[in-house]
Chain A
């Protein structure tokens, strides 16, 4: 079919639909049932506008998510060589406190003594530390209840009934494996993604 004939066909198609439109409006008001061409045009126009609205809304919603510079602070290195057993440090990871704790053998024993079936969020000390580095407990210092910083990392702070951490905001007690034992927090202190890059340096994130 050459182009001219093609256009003629389109044109006659338009004429036809115009004719049916005027027909429709002539009989409009009568309840006719069935699908009219005008319904198609209405639905098509509304869907087109809808797709447009959604595609504009997406960037408007997405701008609220963390921006590139916030995400860029994604990893942190910590030298743990100076932390003596029984001590812990508080540093920053993604603008939030990070606890790195050097467990004493007694603390390790205390954590391992508890059957995991008794826990609210069942995890063993092994699940929460790296193989061969059981004495290093690395957790976020963010209470899983509503996000306060638990006490127990700095010297002299109360460690709660289970010798780990204690959140003063609503009274959550964590044990020496950072597991929730008592209080409103639903889960154990989060263990971030990390790895030992040398025996005394960890890379978090």
Chain B
């Protein structure tokens, strides 16, 4: 579906006319990300991050497939094969650093994309399905990145695999059989490494499939915008191409600038030095930490240190960690305010900037720190706030807050920002 004023695809030559009657792929692209998709005229740079996530996925797929041409998923030689990529394969160091830092870039982009959605209320009707599919992508990404990090078979790879599959061991009764089943043994070994490689190759393509559904669901109501006011007339929109292809181009350039700075000047900054030590099942590194993008969740996992109501602390931690993500699926029903955008919600905005955002940053900081005081107590407080924010604070704000008056239309909001401009019909 699209707005009635969307430009119509007109094949321009004999070949595209021929194609249009048999496989209208150019028409499909034109309507999806071309001049045939009308988009609100007021999108800010936060709306770049969806396209950037797509770019990041493509980078991972291309560099990943190249790495797989040189990598060997076998316990005794996996580590050596990664060193072989780093030292012997032509430009191997570049491809591996691009893949490892590409994963970080992917998460930077996706976290920004998610927080964009949280601030501008993008999860609210009629876009709940878009939000839910996005969360599915996020879960798949986490699984993919986790299994990717196991592949170089260094100390962090090994112990990360052990700790994360150990989480399943916390489930009563069936936990241990599940853990053994996941690993294909009693501890991570060849069987686990091999299956992780197989799934690490597969999941990015599953992600690609879910992205198609995500965009399909998005294109039914169309993109939201910083005011949160729905599109009312043609004046409120511009065609995706050339307006947002150009704006996204700026974002893509900035993305590659940051990405290249990491790859060429600080390729190991976000990694952990212990992963350059080959996996050793007999000795645990002093501090096991996952990759930075898992830190907030790792902090929640470790925040539970005492049993509650007969539930062991370990199980509570695991439940809380999964709940912290699954909770987001219920967001459309927890935040019942009819106003989408945080710009028009004075109270919501305060809790967003001074509550949720610092809370997640603090959790991330604790998750990367050793499991000692004061980090434990800080992560306990921050975890409590995280859950309270979504389960208690948001529903209350939605009830008590008086939103600021909304503009009548996107166009009115845009013109109001340009003092002196009068509201008049587009020529």
By a beta-carbon cutoff of 8 Å, the part of chain A in contact with chain B is 61, 64-67, 70, 90, 92, 94-97, 120, 142, 145-149, 168-171, 183-186
Contacts and interface: CB of A to CB of B under 8 A. Distances in A.
B35 to A, nearest CB: 46
B184 A149 contact: no
Given A66-B180, A96-B187, 19 more contacts: A66-B185, A70-B189, A92-B281, A92-B282, A94-B185, A95-B189, A97-B281, A146-B162, A146-B169, A146-B314, A147-B162, A147-B163, A149-B283, A169-B163, A169-B288, A171-B372, A184-B305, A184-B313, A184-B314
B243 interface: no
Contacts, number: 85
Contact of A183 (B191, B282, B305, B312): B305
Classify the secondary structure of B's interface with A.
loop
5 contacts: A146-B162, A147-B166, A148-B159, A148-B163, A168-B287
Contacts of A183: 305
Interface string B306-335: 010000111101000000000000000000
A111 B180 CA distance: 32
A90 to B, nearest CB: 6
B284 A95 contact: no
A94 B372 CA distance: 32
A185 B314 contact: yes
B186 interface: yes
B185 A95 contact: yes
Contacts of B180: 65-66
B288 to A, nearest CB: 5
B181 interface: yes
Given A64-B181, A94-B186, A168 B191 contact: no
B304 interface: yes
A126 B304 CA distance: 31
The interface centre, meaning the residue of A66, A94, A170 with most chain B CB atoms within 10 A of its CB, is A170
B406 interface: no
Nearest to A97: B282
The interface centre, meaning the residue of A67, A94, A97, A145 with most chain B CB atoms within 10 A of its CB, is A145
Contacts of B182: 64
B167 interface: yes
Given A92-B282, A147-B166, A171-B372, A186 B184 contact: no
Nearest to A63: B184
